[in-house]
Amino acid sequence: MPESHEPFARVMLIGGASGSGKSRIAERSGLPVLRLDDYYREGDDPVLPRLESGEVDWDHPGSWHRDRAIDALEELARTGRTSAPVYDISRSASAGSHEVTLDGARCFVAEGVFVGEVVAEARRRGILADAIVVHRSRWVTMGLRFARDLREHRKPPAFLLKRGIILARREPAIVARLTDAGCRPMRIRAAMRMLAQRG
């Protein structure tokens, strides 16, 4: 149940396809950041959704702890702090936790690929400031994502290439789904300008 009193702060949700620039926008905003992708399930979790090939479908919302993420958003908005996991994508496992604090900020950013799963609930709980989906050419996104994932050793190169092609094909649908969930489509530069005004 949502709290009846006004929250201390509200959240700006940033969604988009993997590699679309969400993290960069969040980091440059000057606002506190909660990384929602850190709420992925452990790689040995038996409820993880699978592709027909048997591989884990990391782009399915079922691969993610939605309830834990929304509770963390509310705790941060109402108390000014929360303990968040640190997820190691290369190992598909949690690598500990860290404290996220607002330090007096009245707005904070939460970004991740599954933002669309929490927009309605964040609004219902009275903690939503705004929700946007950032987008650009899907082929630019694909190239930048592949370079990032190789650099960070996230998964084997063959897996990254295969997943990158799949995500490029899916990207228009991902943006449409986030828009339907209540996110406003926005180009990266416009998003940075908007967040700078809040920071």
The owner of tokens 């694909």 is 142
Query: Helical H runs in the chain?
Result: 22-28, 66-79, 119-124, 138-151, 157-180, 188-198
Distance between CA 6 and CA 49 in Å, rounded? 37
pLDDT for the residue numbered 156: 86
pLDDT for the residue numbered 1: 41
Please, what are the domains in the chain? 10-198 (3.40.50.300)
Model confidence over 173-190: pLDDT tens digits?
888 999 999 999 998 888
pLDDT for the residue numbered 199: 62
Q: What DSSP designation does 116 have?
A: G
Model confidence over 59-87: pLDDT tens digits?
899 999 999 999 999 999 999 999 999 99
| Residue 19 and residue 144 in contact, taking contact as beta carbons nearer than 8 Å | yes
Q: Which residues in the chain show pLDDT less than 70?
A: 1-4, 199
